[in-house]
Structure 1
Amino acid sequence: LKKIIEGACLAKDGLYQILFVTNGKLTQDEVDIYNYLRTIIFDEGVSQYTTLVRTRFPNFQEKETLYDDLKRMIKESNELVELLRSCRDFIYVNNPSLKEVNNNIEIFEETRNASRKELMKALSSCGEETYKAKGLNSLSQRIKEPITKEKILRRDLATITDNDPHKELLATLYREKIEETKTFAIQVIHTCIIEAKQTEIQGDSYWQRTPQRTPTNLPGTSDVATITAAIAGAIIQGLFTVI
Structure 2
Amino acid sequence: MTPIERTVVFIGRTGAGKSTCANALASAILFPESDQSVSETKFIESRTVNIDGANSRYRVKIVDTIGIGDTDLEEDEVLKRLASACYECREGINAVFFVTGGRFTQEEADAWDVIWKVLFSPAIVDHTTIVRTRFPKFLDPTAVKSDCDRLKAQKVAGKKIIEQIKEIIHVDNPPQQYPGWEETRQKSRATLLTHLDHCEAVYKPQKLDEINKRISEHVEKKQAAEIKLQTLLVEFSQTCEQLNETKKKRDKLEEAKVKSLTQTCDDLEEIKAKKLTQKCDMLEETEVEAPTRKRDELEELTRIYRELEVDYAKLELQMAEEKQKAAAAELQLTQEMNEILTKCTMPRTNTREESMLDRTMETAGRIAKDFRSCCLM
Scaled by the length of structure 1, what TM-score is found? 0.52
CA distances 1:124-173 after superposition (whole Å, capped 9, x unpaired) = 1111x311123x46717xxxxxxxxxxxxxxxxxxxxxxxxxxxxxxxxx
Q: Match of 1:122? A: 195
Query: Does the alignment pair 1:69 with 2:147?
Result: yes
Structure 2 counterpart of 1:123, which letter? Answer: L
Q: Distance in 1 between matches of 2:176 and 2:225?
A: 36
The change in CA–CA distance for 1:16 and 1:114 in structure 2 (over 3 A counts) is same
Q: Distance in 2 between matches of 1:82 and 1:139?
A: 26
Query: Does the alignment pair 1:26 with 2:97?
Result: no
Q: Match of 2:126? A: 48
Q: Distance in 2 between matches of 1:43 and 1:131?
A: 10
Could you tell me which runs of 5 or more consecutive residues in structure 2 were left unpaired when the two chains were aligned.
Answer: 1-67, 69-77, 227-377
Structure 2 counterpart of 1:73, which letter? Answer: L
- Structure 1 residue 122: deviation in Å? 1.0
Query: Does the alignment pair 1:139 with 2:139?
Result: no
Q: Distance in 2 between matches of 1:60 and 1:223?
A: 41
Structure 2 counterpart of 1:55, which letter? Answer: T
Alignment of structure 1 residues 220-239 onto 2, 5 Å: 220-221=222-223
Q: Distance in 1 between matches of 2:185 and 2:215?
A: 42
Residue among 177, 181, 188 paired with 1:108 = 181
Q: Distance in 1 between matches of 2:160 and 2:214?
A: 28
- Structure 1 residue 22: deviation in Å? 1.4
The change in CA–CA distance for 1:68 and 1:223 in structure 2 (over 3 A counts) is farther
Scaled by the length of structure 2, what TM-score is found? 0.35
Please, what is the CA RMSD of the aligned residues?
3.0
> How many residue pairs end up in the alignment?
148
Aligned to 1:14, the other structure's residue is in SS state coil
Alignment of structure 1 residues 1-243 onto 2, 5 Å: 1=68, 2=78, 3-77=81-155, 79-87=157-165, 89-100=167-178, 103=179, 107-127=180-200, 129-134=201-206, 136=207, 139=210, 192-193=217-218, 220-221=222-223
- Structure 1 residue 116: deviation in Å? 0.1
Structure 2 counterpart of 1:130, which letter? Answer: V
Q: Distance in 1 between matches of 2:94 and 2:82?
A: 14
- Greater relative contact order structure (CA < 8 Å, 6+ sep): 1
Aligned to 1:64, the other structure's residue is in SS state helix
Q: Distance in 2 between matches of 1:24 and 1:222?
A: 32
- Structure 1 residue 36: deviation in Å? 1.2
Q: Distance in 2 between matches of 1:124 and 1:4?
A: 26
